[in-house]
């Protein structure tokens, strides 16, 4: 993760559904880069992807919306967001 501004948040997103990690993970990375978010993916699987994203809350909201709509070969059931303690760096 990169250095954050004071107003930036860091959240863990857990994406659940029928996911094709081979195509969805690169899509997530490209989408985060387009939004200017830093991201780190910690788990990938056919039914769950976990990642941490950091940036302004509005852009993290946009990331969630983008992932929920996602590419055509995935079906996102739900996305859970959890704040990550900034003091744990």
pLDDT value at 3 more than 70 = no
* pTM: predicted TM-score of the whole model, two decimal places: 0.84
Mean of per-residue pLDDT scores for the chain: 88
Residue of 74, 70, 13 lying closest to 38 (CA atoms): 13
The whole-number pLDDT of residue 54 equals 96
Q: Could you give all domains of the chain from N- to C-terminal order, each with its CATH number? A: 9-88 (3.30.70.100)
Transcribe 54-82 into DSSP letters. Answer: EE-HHHHHHHHHHHHH--TT-EEEEEEEE
Cα–Cα distance, 80 to 50 (Å, whole number): 9
The whole-number pLDDT of residue 70 equals 84
Give every CB contact of residue 48 below 8 A, 6+ residues apart in sequence: 14, 15, 16, 19
Please state the rounded mean pLDDT for residues 25-49.
Answer: 94
Range name among 13-17, 31-35, 85-89 with the lowest pLDDT average = 85-89
């Amino acid at each position: 993760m990169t250095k954050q501004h004071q107003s930036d948040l860091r959240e863990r997103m857990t994406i659940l559904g029928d996911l094709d990690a081979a195509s969805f993970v690169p899509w997530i990375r490209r989408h985060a880069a387009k939004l200017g978010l830093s991201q780190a993916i910690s788990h990938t699987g056919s039914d769950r992807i976990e990642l941490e994203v950091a940036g302004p809350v509005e852009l993290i909201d946009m990331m969630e919306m983008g992932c929920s709509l996602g590419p055509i070969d995935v079906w996102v059931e739900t996305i859970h967001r959890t704040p990550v303690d900034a003091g744990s760096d």
